[in-house]
A and B are shown apart, each in its own frame.
Chain A
């Protein structure tokens, strides 16, 4: 019994930071409709800034002052980000905003590395709260009790702000209908900035206040992200009580998980989430999000038409160059192009889902990594030959997509995006924690192609065949009646339903198909490297694909392929720099702001301007 109570107290203490960060995310989303993917980064900044301030400021006053100041400092950084990065893209489609916040993640990662270095930082302990108190014989850290006591006050202050002040009234009004708030004379720009300050300050506060428990490290941005998504999804977007309850639920569960089922802690969180979503699709306290209700209409899309003669010739010429690459390219070039091809297939599969289906999946790595692990497991445990594995890997990934898609497609918009990401993290944690089978962090090694394909050139040709085949299949599907139905479902679900299209089913099939193609890419990947590690399932991998699709241009079919080639090519070059993330992040942000059509779209525009390509709309 005493042990039980001590566990619950630890869980409650852990919930403290989680609640603050999740509440901030929820608040920002409510008003700006942006899922701030950089929220974890602000949390990380809060921890580092708090740490530095604690070194300077003495005593208990200094300690608590440092936490508050860290919150304010992070809030101010949030304001800078809001004004410079987000303001220009509020009217852009959702995906652009998300990619922009991802650029912010990269920038903050490298800046943090520059300022504080790569070493983990051990958090200072709170003056006067160093020891433990025995509760029925069980030791409970005093700081934990302090956190448990503080959190309700933070929640109360937040509640007061939201429920009782003019700012809070405006925030709640804007959450419902921000255009109307503007028409009543409220300058939304400053309201958004204010909310962003508050939300990021909460993240910073959370980061600083957990210092004595967790310290600071460079991975904490992504690590907290999954947890806050889960909290927000369980609690319901925009609900403070929901965020608190869910944070407590997750934290307590985690503590018990560590005590009783140590291998399953990460998985447990997702199981609870799925159960909650089955019963209440919009979370415990959430309500259905009506996405893009007022405003947010993108430019009308150009009709996607079958490739014209010129395009075909260009593609054929490109393929011919690739086919003859082994004649003039070094084996290094062949390996690089193999990498690029695999990545292009992966990106094209996401592009299909996103561009054609309008399904913004944030966890597409699940199927790439899933295919890769399926292949590795088949080879390692069943001695399956490569040829068969390359058939089974996409099937396995497709099956995973069928199951995950079934859950995720119950929701739409940001909830869908967060859920897909959460599931990718679930797969990642399965692989990571199930070390006996998957090798955990050490990965799985010694997975080589069949003899005939083991030569670099032979494998290059195999990859060329399968990737181009896969990409053509995706393209072909996009132009088939299925593709039209998918786009109809994307553009207006209701209209599509009225013409007899079962939109959910169509989307489900598309999700599975895209998953299978990503799985094929994953299978190829394993054989090209001879090994696979959990990072193929990581958030960063999913984001790689998202960025590529975005860089290439969402609205053009070639987007995924061109973007994939560009990123992989550039990555090989820029990762030689120490601070390449900073460069990439800034590039992404600039592209979002200045060339929102992506590479292909912008090239096409430039072509139209100088008269190389005829504008298809000019004719009509």
Chain B
């Protein structure tokens, strides 16, 4: 469903993605793993075209995304949940959801506010609160809910478990599993295996902006040396 091939990306003169290639199959949850600074966020951004690759292709649903403006990419059905969350702090929860709202899309669930409040009960109670009054975990739920309002077919989750309490991490696991059953394809990034093990079907490991390993979680279990070499404990 999503294919990166030979992607090179730069910040100024520093090369961050180096001939990066990997694929994500439809209907699967794929974990993009790598240490601090491995290039996970940059990968996500260059899929969304928030960072434009100097070379290489990003194919999604039969189209090359490179060079399209981000709003076009989103309109094709890619939903992006950034690492820093970037919720609109001056806006209420309901208004944040409104920003994300897009028309229904063929072949994807059409999310309503009520459905999202069912998925994230904490948000329901806080619907009139402003973004800045929310806790870290609530903000994380809000970013996911906001992106779901765009009825994506493919979800990019950048470090969804970062900096949130264990109970909420468990809730995230449930949510991602449910999204998968609803037919969403998910690419999520993490620094370590814990969260990925709970939700992912396949993993892609990157280091220095290059793919080092791709395979199923079960296969990775056979190769502890790879895990030790490229992942944080």
A interface, CB within 8 angstroms of B: 166, 169-170, 172-173, 175-177, 179-188, 297, 300
Residues on the A chain within 8 Å of B100, using CB: 184-185
Residue on A nearest B12 in the bound complex, by CB: A300
Residue on A nearest B150 in the bound complex, by CB: A185
Q: Once the chains bind, are A172 and B90 in contact (CB under 8 Å)?
A: yes
Compute how far the CA of A473 lies from the CA of B96 in the bound complex, rounded to whole angstroms: 54
Q: Once the chains bind, are B90 and A183 in contact (CB under 8 Å)?
A: no
Contact status of A183 and B98, CB under 8 A, knowing A172-B91, A176-B90: no
8 contacts between A and B (CB under 8 A): A175-B90, A179-B70, A180-B82, A184-B74, A184-B100, A184-B146, A184-B147, A186-B99
Contact status of A177 and B86, CB under 8 A, knowing A166-B98, A172-B91, A172-B95: yes
Report the contact-size class of chain B (Cβ under 8 Å from the partner).
Answer: 20 to 34
Contact status of A183 and B12, CB under 8 A, knowing A169-B98, A173-B99, A177-B86: no
Q: Once the chains bind, are A179 and B150 in contact (CB under 8 Å)?
A: no
Q: Which of A173, A183, A185, A188 meets B88, CB within 8 Å?
A: A173
Taking the closest CB of chain A, its distance from the CB of B31, in whole angstroms, is 21
Q: Once the chains bind, are B86 and A185 in contact (CB under 8 Å)?
A: no
Residues on the B chain within 8 Å of A173, using CB: 88, 91, 95-96, 99
Compute how far the CA of A613 lies from the CA of B102 in the bound complex, rounded to whole angstroms: 52
Residues on the A chain within 8 Å of B13, using CB: 300
By secondary structure, the A interface counts as helix
Compute how far the CA of A188 lies from the CA of B69 in the bound complex, rounded to whole angstroms: 10
Residues on the A chain within 8 Å of B95, using CB: 169, 172-173
Q: Once the chains bind, are A169 and B70 in contact (CB under 8 Å)?
A: no
Binary per-residue interface labels of chain B (105-118) against chain A in the complex, 1 for a CB within 8 Å, 0 otherwise: 00000000000000
Residue on A nearest B101 in the bound complex, by CB: A166
Q: Once the chains bind, are A182 and B98 in contact (CB under 8 Å)?
A: no
Taking the closest CB of chain B, its distance from the CB of A189, in whole angstroms, is 8
Contact status of A170 and B99, CB under 8 A, knowing A177-B88, A180-B86, A183-B50: yes
Residue on B nearest A165 in the bound complex, by CB: B98
Contact status of A176 and B89, CB under 8 A, knowing A182-B69, A185-B150, A300-B12: yes
Q: Which of B71, B88, B90 meets A186, CB within 8 Å?
A: B71
Residues on the A chain within 8 Å of B12, using CB: 297, 300
Residues on the B chain within 8 Å of A175, using CB: 90
Q: Which of B48, B73, B86 has the most CB of A within 10 A?
A: B86
Q: Once the chains bind, are B99 and A181 in contact (CB under 8 Å)?
A: yes
Residue on B nearest A188 in the bound complex, by CB: B71
Residues on the A chain within 8 Å of B86, using CB: 177, 180
Residues on the B chain within 8 Å of A182, using CB: 69-71, 74
Compute how far the CA of A169 lies from the CA of B88 in the bound complex, rounded to whole angstroms: 10
Q: Once the chains bind, are B91 and A185 in contact (CB under 8 Å)?
A: no
Residues on the A chain within 8 Å of B150, using CB: 184-185
Contact status of A183 and B91, CB under 8 A, knowing A169-B99, A170-B99, A177-B86: no
Residue on B nearest A620 in the bound complex, by CB: B13
Q: Once the chains bind, are B82 and A185 in contact (CB under 8 Å)?
A: no
Contact status of A185 and B50, CB under 8 A, knowing A172-B88, A180-B82, A300-B13: no
Q: Once the chains bind, are A184 and B99 in contact (CB under 8 Å)?
A: yes
Q: Which of A166, A169, A175 has the most CB of B within 10 A?
A: A169
Interface residues of B in 131-149 (CB under 8 A from A): 146-147
Compute how far the CA of A173 lies from the CA of B80 in the bound complex, rounded to whole angstroms: 16
Q: Once the chains bind, are A185 and B102 in contact (CB under 8 Å)?
A: yes
Given contacts A172-B90, A176-B90, A177-B86, 15 further A-B contacts (CB under 8 A): A166-B101, A172-B95, A175-B90, A176-B91, A177-B88, A179-B50, A180-B82, A180-B86, A183-B71, A183-B82, A184-B80, A184-B102, A185-B74, A185-B75, A186-B99
Residue on A nearest B94 in the bound complex, by CB: A169
Residues on the B chain within 8 Å of A186, using CB: 71, 99
Taking the closest CB of chain B, its distance from the CB of A302, in whole angstroms, is 13
Interface residues of B in 65-87 (CB under 8 A from A): 69-71, 73-75, 80, 82, 86
Residues on the A chain within 8 Å of B99, using CB: 169-170, 173, 181, 184, 186
Q: Which 6 residue pairs spanning A and B have beta carbons closest together?
A: A185-B74, A173-B99, A173-B88, A182-B70, A180-B86, A183-B70
Compute how far the CA of A285 lies from the CA of B168 in the bound complex, rounded to whole angstroms: 36
Q: Once the chains bind, are B74 and A183 in contact (CB under 8 Å)?
A: yes
Residues on the B chain within 8 Å of A172, using CB: 88, 90-91, 95
Taking the closest CB of chain A, its distance from the CB of B46, in whole angstroms, is 13
Q: Which of B80, B89, B96 meets A183, CB within 8 Å?
A: B80
Binary per-residue interface labels of chain B (15-52) against chain A in the complex, 1 for a CB within 8 Å, 0 otherwise: 00000000000000000000000000000000010100
Q: Which of B48, B82, B100, B102 has the most CB of A within 10 A?
A: B100
Residue on A nearest B156 in the bound complex, by CB: A183
Taking the closest CB of chain A, its distance from the CB of B198, in whole angstroms, is 27
Residues on the A chain within 8 Å of B74, using CB: 182-185
Residue on B nearest A184 in the bound complex, by CB: B100
Compute how far the CA of A187 lies from the CA of B74 in the bound complex, rounded to whole angstroms: 10
Compute how far the CA of A170 lies from the CA of B99 in the bound complex, rounded to whole angstroms: 6
Residues on the B chain within 8 Å of A185, using CB: 71, 74-75, 100, 102, 150
Compute how far the CA of A166 lies from the CA of B91 in the bound complex, rounded to whole angstroms: 12
Compute how far the CA of A496 lies from the CA of B146 in the bound complex, rounded to whole angstroms: 39
Compute how far the CA of A179 lies from the CA of B48 in the bound complex, rounded to whole angstroms: 11
Compute how far the CA of A392 lies from the CA of B99 in the bound complex, rounded to whole angstroms: 59
Residue on A nearest B149 in the bound complex, by CB: A184
Compute how far the CA of A183 lies from the CA of B82 in the bound complex, rounded to whole angstroms: 10
Q: Once the chains bind, are A169 and B91 in contact (CB under 8 Å)?
A: yes
Q: Which of A166, A185, A300 has the most CB of B within 10 A?
A: A185
Compute how far the CA of A184 lies from the CA of B74 in the bound complex, rounded to whole angstroms: 6
Q: Which of B12, B71, B146 has the most CB of A within 10 A?
A: B71
Residues on the A chain within 8 Å of B82, using CB: 180, 183
Residues on the B chain within 8 Å of A170, using CB: 99
Taking the closest CB of chain A, its distance from the CB of B60, in whole angstroms, is 14
Residue on A nearest B151 in the bound complex, by CB: A185
Residue on A nearest B49 in the bound complex, by CB: A183
Compute how far the CA of A122 lies from the CA of B168 in the bound complex, rounded to whole angstroms: 68
Q: Which of A176, A187, A300 meets B71, CB within 8 Å?
A: A187
Q: Which of B12, B48, B98, B99 has the most CB of A within 10 A?
A: B99
Compute how far the CA of A166 lies from the CA of B97 in the bound complex, rounded to whole angstroms: 11
Compute how far the CA of A297 lies from the CA of B101 in the bound complex, rounded to whole angstroms: 29
Residue on A nearest B77 in the bound complex, by CB: A185
Residues on the A chain within 8 Å of B71, using CB: 182-188
Residues on the B chain within 8 Å of A188, using CB: 71
Compute how far the CA of A173 lies from the CA of B90 in the bound complex, rounded to whole angstroms: 8
Taking the closest CB of chain A, its distance from the CB of B189, in whole angstroms, is 16
Residue on B nearest A295 in the bound complex, by CB: B50
Residues on the A chain within 8 Å of B90, using CB: 172, 175-176
Taking the closest CB of chain A, its distance from the CB of B16, in whole angstroms, is 14
Compute how far the CA of A181 lies from the CA of B102 in the bound complex, rounded to whole angstroms: 12
Taking the closest CB of chain B, its distance from the CB of A316, in whole angstroms, is 35
Compute how far the CA of A172 lies from the CA of B88 in the bound complex, rounded to whole angstroms: 8
Residues on the B chain within 8 Å of A300, using CB: 12-13
Residues on the A chain within 8 Å of B73, using CB: 183
Compute how far the CA of A176 lies from the CA of B95 in the bound complex, rounded to whole angstroms: 13
Residues on the A chain within 8 Å of B70, using CB: 179, 182-183
Taking the closest CB of chain B, its distance from the CB of A97, in whole angstroms, is 19
Compute how far the CA of A172 lies from the CA of B98 in the bound complex, rounded to whole angstroms: 12
Compute how far the CA of A185 lies from the CA of B105 in the bound complex, rounded to whole angstroms: 13
Residue on A nearest B73 in the bound complex, by CB: A183
Residues on the B chain within 8 Å of A297, using CB: 12
Compute how far the CA of A175 lies from the CA of B90 in the bound complex, rounded to whole angstroms: 10
Residues on the A chain within 8 Å of B48, using CB: 183
Compute how far the CA of A264 lies from the CA of B69 in the bound complex, rounded to whole angstroms: 52
Residues on the A chain within 8 Å of B50, using CB: 179, 183
